[in-house]
A and B are shown apart, each in its own frame.
Chain A
Amino acid sequence: MTAFLGFDPFERRISDAFEEITDARRPDYLDDILQLTARTSQRPRWSFLERWLPVDLAAPRPTALMGVRLGPILLLIAIALVLAALAAAYVGSQRTPLPFGPAANGLIAYPKDGALYVRNTLDADGRLIVRGEGTVSTPYFSPDGKLVAYIETIARIDHLMVASPDGSNSREILKLPVGDFNAVWRPDSRAFAVVVQANLSPRLSIVPIDGSAPTSIELGSALPTTDLAWRPPDGLDLLVRGVREDRTVDLFLVPGDGSPVHAIGLRSDLLFGTDWDNSGPAWSLDGTRIAYNQVEKDPKTGITQFRLHIVNADGTGDQALPGPTDPNVMESWPAFAPDGRTILVHRWTWKSNNGGEGWVAVMPADGSRPARDIGPRIPGGEDTGLIKTWSPDGTRVLMRSDNTHEAFSIDPMNGTFELLAWTSDLPDWQRVQR
């Protein structure tokens, strides 16, 4: 036994030995790192990762009554009255409409000067709906369009709030703790799935908006990340990305019927660490398949790439979607169009590649061909910080860049776009019945 081992307690000496081993001093490479950070954009304070959930709401369209003679009109009026009564009863019963599929475009909400505004269309004038005690940001309509959530920051404390679309009846849902945060409306618009950092550890909960107690969800030995996606068509199951203790990453399905949480079983090579493997999951409209980000090495070029994969909900049939032909173009963050036929994706080239660019593209959801570029190119490569969303009717794509603080409206059909001069944030579009 050495003199060292003779000391008691053993642990106390470890700290001293660590101090001697490390000889901590300012590293000579620090200046290089600070030059790098000086060229790196900061992220905005808050951004919901999933700004809009596709809604499957097949409301019957009104039928035009044209060229009908007077005789049958009374009968038709009577029928119409009956239909109206039935429709009213139907709508009244749909307090929690199925929140997946196309809908009509409603109000557009956006933050401006620390307050919350709405406008009826992209070209209409805006009107103030919420000016709180603090700074208001990040509007996010509920799937049924009857509420709008937002973040209000007061004395650096962030509050998750909800209000009616006219700004009335605002109330606090929870105070947000330190760290990354994401909240996704539950499809019935009565609760949020929330991932917060509690004591530096992420926690997943279902937080009702009626003030009742949250419900915690555990993923076994894995910890949740902020990637959350409710499963169509009934919206009962929740898909959560989780990191296991061995740091491999998988997607976990939390069944709504209370049966055990189970892993999908995806590959996790951690080529870029735990942050990216199997990230950005998005459900197909029928809830049978999941598109997600994969990080993999191109066997031809050896380049490590972000690519999209799609897998059956039971973990079988995993396959890569056709990626960009240029191996230096990365592709990730899928978002299904409201009709489920198209996938909106984020593409970029690294900053080390002539400064890099970021943009968006659309591909057929059946994976029959690679994505087609649309909209503007934003300089800055991986730092462009693009966030994007579909309009409820699927005719527009909204995109916002952290790098330039610009927002755009893009036609997904022909790729043309316009700058939204009235906002520097990503607006959120209310869903209304068609």
Chain B
Amino acid sequence: MSGRELVELAQRGDHDAFAVLATAASARLDAAARLILRDRELARDAVQNALVRAWRDLPRLRDPDRFDAWLHRLLVNACLDEARRRRRRPAEVEMLPTDMYSSAGEVHHLDDRDLVERALGRLEPENRALVVLHYYLGYPVPAAAASLGMSLPAAKSRLHRALEAMRHALTSEFTGPAEPEGGRIS
């Protein structure tokens, strides 16, 4: 059965079909939410909110072929809502294990992923979402902008600034601590 047929069945209330769709998407949703929120529990809440809303509003999705894009938009919005809620609480940043950074002489053994995760953590959630939509979920910038409700120029500008901030953060790992983007860690 094709993805489109599954979406159409789910739109007519077939929860088994929705479960197949949700299962297929869940790994990517969870991973994207963790990247944006950097907190497993918040990510879980965001994925739950996105999937509940997807099931509830699925009859209103006109084009079944856009299911994935629609679901990712729901997820990003759920993540940003969670991030917004978190801002009212003390900063919670999921830190990496520090034993990987045993000495300055071992920097060449650092994985790309550790550096990227640290750099990602310095971005504002909205910019993190933009980066994740583009570089992880693979959306062209115009589609990522639309998902976030940004104009294309604003998205391009934010993406450029986010990348520069990540470049700066990665460089600073070896020259000293950098200020988080926007002056705070969220």
The chain A residues found within 8 Å of chain B, CB to CB, are 1-5, 10-11, 13-27, 29-30, 32-34, 36-38, 40-46, 156-158, 176-181, 199-202, 221, 223, 243, 245-247, 270-271, 273-274
Give the shortest distance, in Å, between B128 (CB) and chain A (any CB): 11
Among candidates A24, A202, A247, residue contacting B30 with C-beta atoms closer than 8 Å: A24
B156 to chain A, nearest CB (A): 13
Q: Please, which residues of chain B bring their CB within 8 A of the CB of A46? A: 60
Contacting residues, chain A, for B66 (C-beta < 8 A): 178, 200
Most chain B CB neighbours (cut-off 10 Å) among A32, A177, A199, A200: A200
Distance in angstroms between the alpha carbons of A18 and B70 in the assembled complex: 21
CB within 8 Å of A: which of B33-63?
34-35, 44, 47-49, 51-52, 55-63
The residue from B28, B62, B117, B132 contacting A156, defined by CB atoms under 8 A apart:
B62
Give the distance in Å from the alpha carbon of A13 to the alpha carbon of B111 in the complex: 11
The minimal Cβ–Cβ distance linking B131 to chain A, given in whole angstroms, is 7
Given A32, A45, A245, which contacts B149 in the complex, CB threshold below 8 Å? A245
Which residues of B are interface residues toward A (Cβ below 8 A)? 8, 13, 15, 18-19, 22-23, 26-28, 30-32, 34-35, 44, 47-49, 51-52, 55-64, 66, 69-70, 73, 77-78, 80-81, 84-85, 107-108, 110-113, 115-117, 126, 131-132, 135-136, 138, 142-143, 145-147, 149-151, 154, 163, 166-167, 170-171, 174
A–B Cβ pairs within 8 angstroms, 21 of them: A1-B171, A15-B135, A18-B136, A24-B31, A27-B30, A30-B22, A33-B51, A37-B55, A42-B13, A42-B58, A42-B59, A156-B64, A157-B62, A180-B60, A200-B73, A243-B149, A245-B126, A245-B149, A247-B80, A247-B126, A273-B84
Residue contact A42 to B56, C-beta cutoff 8 Å: yes
Give A223's nearest chain B residue, CB to CB. Answer: B149
Interface of chain B: mostly helix, strand, loop or mixed: helix
Q: Are B30 and A34 in contact (CB under 8 A)?
A: no
Q: Is the Cβ of A43 less than 8 Å from the Cβ of B57?
A: yes
Residues of B within 8 A of A24 (CB): 27-28, 30-31
Pair A36/B52 contact, Cβ less than 8 Å: yes
Contact A37 B73 (CB under 8 A): no
- Report how far A202 CA is from B77 CA in the complex, Å: 14
* A43 to B31 Cα, complex, angstroms: 28
Say whether A199 contacts B143, CB under 8 Å. yes
